[in-house]
Amino acid sequence: MKRAIVVGTGAGGAAAARALAGTMDVTILEAGSDFRRFDGDMGVVEALRSTRLLFDPRTIRLLFPEMRVSKVSDGMALVRGIGTGGTTTLATGNALRCDEELLRRGIDLGPEFRSLQGELPISTAHRRRWRPVTRGLFEAGERLGLQPAVTPKLVDYSRCTRCGRCVLGCPSGAKWDSRRFVDQAVERGAHLVTRARVERVITSESAGGTGRATGVVVRSRGRRRLLEADLVVLAAGGLGTGAILARSGIRTEDSLFVDPVLCVAGPADRCRADEDVPMPFYIEGDGYMISPYFDYLSFFFNRAWRSHRHDIVSLMIKLADSECGTVGRRGVSKALSERDKKRLATATETCRELLSSYGVRRDRIFLGTLNAGHPGGTLPLTGRERLPLHADHLPENLYVADASLLPVSLGRPPILTIMALAQRVAKECVERFA
């Protein structure tokens, strides 16, 4: 049986590994450890906010080691999950299909979406569980003609305790994350290795071609070693995959997007929005979406968010940003373009109108911390590769199966789309290399 290495256990890596397991001898490499949810006492965290201990989002690791934050231009915080399940463990479990740009390039993932929808716990049954604050915001959106739509969720609501901690690791196991696909891959014979950071891909040269990937160099538990393989699939996320390729001397595009997020919030006594379904509905605008969301990053670190957590109502803006950033050996470079800033200003004003319609005084509305958590686009599909889903300049047996392949920023939750894309990549790999 031929050997395959899959790098990453997030949405793309887990889906690819599961599809390859059984037909190839699969080793899954995860840079982090087993995921551990945040079980801290929120009362203690609230008390810490008045000290100098919580002053920079990058110190989130002191509270929650599996969440990593770095900063780029404009002070924007990039948020990642490092551990089994990748960033899916920190997501709110949205299940939106966002493949319009792929379809325009001739890439139809319909079979993969149908397969996923048939086996995942996708539901909109949460609407009956909404607290009054969420119902009030939805009705305000309808009054303003914003056409709010209920968000499909990857959640088993028979197990959900409505604690509001989806982004800190679901304590009841109701929210689906990609660790379930990893477990299924292991059941089919795959080998999972955690705390294994891939430094680079090793390739062999071939006359007149791009050569082949022969394996990866891994640093694990203080040791560096070479793991050989017949197939390498990179799914280390929109930042991790680009960095591995750069360290391997393989070109990527200067087209990084990150889906910036900014929350617009206000006081609402005892509304308990922090304990409601996060992102329960969404409103689409020109290059952005708006959804109710309690932003723990702002709550922990932003001095404007000093109210009690039960007394804040908040709307998230998720922006489809310009594809103009880079990931390289020296790190990440990314800033908002003028178009991004205009769209963000428009969306912020819409949020102010929505909160005002709900009953929040405009002069008491405040902003959150600009952050982002959906990077991608550094190896974008153009349509020319729609059959093998493989860029010409990559070694023939080196594939990518994460958001790096997305041609533009979605400005919407990408998990379902990434999984569908990864399953298609894995299918191509099985046909070519198994």
H or E, element range at 412: none
Is residue 265 packed enough to be buried (19+ CB in 10 Å), middle (13-18) or exposed (0-12)? buried
Tell me the pLDDT tens digit for each residue of 12-50. 999 999 999 999 999 999 999 999 888 878 887 777 777
On whether the CB atoms of residues 387 and 179 are closer than 8 A, the answer is no
What are the pLDDT digits (tens) for 381-425? 987 766 789 998 999 999 999 999 999 999 999 999 999 999 999
Amino acid occupying residue 6: V
| Pair type for strands 281-285 and 288-292 | antiparallel
- In the chain, the N- to C-terminal Cα span, in Å, equals 8
Q: What is the mean pLDDT of residues 52-75?
A: 78
Look at residue 375 and give its three-state secondary structure. Answer: coil
Which residue type, as a one-letter code, is found at position 55?
Answer: F
In whole angstroms, what is the distance from residue 283 CA to residue 374 CA? 19
DSSP 164-178: S-GGG--SSS-B--T
Residues 110-126 have pLDDT tens digits of 999 999 999 999 999 99
The tokens describing 173, both together, are 């196991």
Residues 231 and 262: beta-carbon distance below 8 Å? no
Task: Report the C-alpha gap between 202 and 260 in whole angstroms.
Answer: 34
Residue where the block lists tokens 């990549």: 425
Tokens of 74: 């404009």
**Phi then psi for 5, rounded to 5 degrees?**
-115, 130
Structure tokens at 359: 């009953």
CA of 256: how far to CAs of 39, 330, 374, 375, in Å? 33, 15, 10, 7
pLDDT at 208: 47
Q: Any idea which residue has 């997305």 for tokens?
A: 406
Euclidean distance between CA atoms 366 and 304, whole angstroms: 7
E-strand stretches of 119-273 = 122-123, 149-150, 153-154, 191-193, 196-204, 212-220, 223-228, 231-234, 260-267
Average pLDDT of the chain? 92
Helices (H), 188-255: 237-247
Distance CA 66, CA 159 (A): 24
**Can you give the three-state secondary structure of 316-362, one letter per residue?**
EEEECCCCCEEEECCEEECCCCHHHHHHHHHHHHHHHHHHHHHCCCH
Q: How confident is the model at residue 72 (pLDDT cuts 50, 70, 90)?
A: confident
pLDDT category at 207 given cuts 50, 70, 90 is very low
CA distance 395 to 111: 27
Tokens of 320: 């489809």
pTM of the shown model: 0.94
Mean pLDDT over 170-188 rounds to 96
Cα separation, 362 vs 351, in Å, equals: 10
